[in-house]
Amino acid sequence: MTVTARLLAGAPAAEALLADAAARAARLSAPPYLVMVRLGDDPASVSYVRGKDRKAREVGLSSTVHALPETTTQAELLDLIARLNADDRVNGILVQLPLPAQISEQAALHAIDPRKDVDGFHPLNVGELWAGRPALRPCTPAGILALLDHYRIAVAGQRAVVVGRSHIVGRPLAGLLLNRDATVTLAHSRTPDLGAVTREADLLCVAVGQAHLITPDMVKPGATVIDVGINRVPGEKGGKAHLTGDVHPDAAQVAGAITPVPGGVGPMTIAQLLANTVTAAEMQSGGQAAR
């Protein structure tokens, strides 16, 4: 198999974003302080939150994790969020998703002070994104734009197709690409003849959560492909489980550039969260607005 596409590795782009965040943090009177709240013991959530906490300390931020029981009530969670909102030392608050069934995601996300909403999920920040005004932006979509900028891949004037309409990736990513003057199509599970749509894309972003949904024939030759999927595939006959994306690996023979899974968008999500925490701290210190 011959791979022709340029590989867009997340690590170097994430390092550049983190170096910039660390330099901005150093100009503040105190280290930006991120508080993460996690409910229950889902192994993926435990591992993501640990990774973010470790990276935060590495770049000189303060970070605390509140690990609450799976049985935490909504009132208890809202009470914790209210205390974090009122605590002037706390610059950023992240409530790890998904939440247990007894808690309304909407109630939790609405409760976070929009100025501390480093996930960019509060409706005020969602509205500002779609209005094209500065605010805290969702980490995965903003991280994808930072990755494209790092590799000097043009966005303005490009035909962008986003597959997947989730609130955490697809929708906000479409908005960010639109704000950067791409011509944007938002496709999803009900889109007829998905391949005909994706083949139009100069920039194809896939965030569905379905392993190898995008096959090589669905990719325009030379296109840039951003694979946001993280799918766990069980090992064959006792072999090790591994991660794979929403894009079939053979698409690398058609694309001009492609992100690997793992090691592509994932590291950018973490770096952008920490950059957002610095931005939140800057805004709270009366400094410049979010970018």
Ligand X SMILES: Nc1nc(=O)c2c([nH]1)NC[C@@H]1CN(c3ccc(C(=O)N[C@@H](CCC(=O)O)C(=O)O)cc3)C=[N+]21
Give contact residues for ligand X (rule: CB under 6 A).
48, 51, 94-97, 119, 139, 230, 243, 261-263, 266-267, 269-270
Contact 39, 77 (CB under 8 A): yes
CB of 192 to ligand X, least distance (A): 29
Residues designated as active site: 52, 96, 119
Q: DSSP for 13-48?
A: HHHHHHHHHHHHHHTSSS--EEEEEEES--HHHHHH
- Which residue, 98 or 132, is less far from ligand X as judged by CB? 98
Flag whether 214 is marked binding.
no
- Closest-CA residue to 251 (of 229, 233, 232, 270): 229
Flag whether 230 is marked binding.
yes
Flag whether 132 is marked binding.
no
203's enclosing H/E stretch is strand 203-206
Flag whether 133 is marked binding.
no
- Closest-CA residue to 130 (of 70, 91, 165, 171): 171
Q: How far is CA 96 from the centre of its chain?
A: 12
User: Which residue has its beta carbon closest to ligand X?
Assistant: 266
In angstroms, the CA 246 to CA 64 distance is 32
279's enclosing H/E stretch is helix 265-284
- Which residue, 99 or 194, is less far from ligand X as judged by CB? 99
CB of 141 to ligand X, least distance (A): 10
First CA to last CA distance, the chain: 42
CB of 189 to ligand X, least distance (A): 20
Q: HSE of 58 in the Cβ direction (CA atoms, 13 Å)?
A: 12
CB of 108 to ligand X, least distance (A): 9
- Which residue, 31 or 267, is less far from ligand X as judged by CB? 267
- Which residue, 194 or 252, is less far from ligand X as judged by CB? 252
**Annotated binding residues for NADP(+):** 164-166, 230
**Annotated binding residues:** 164-166, 230
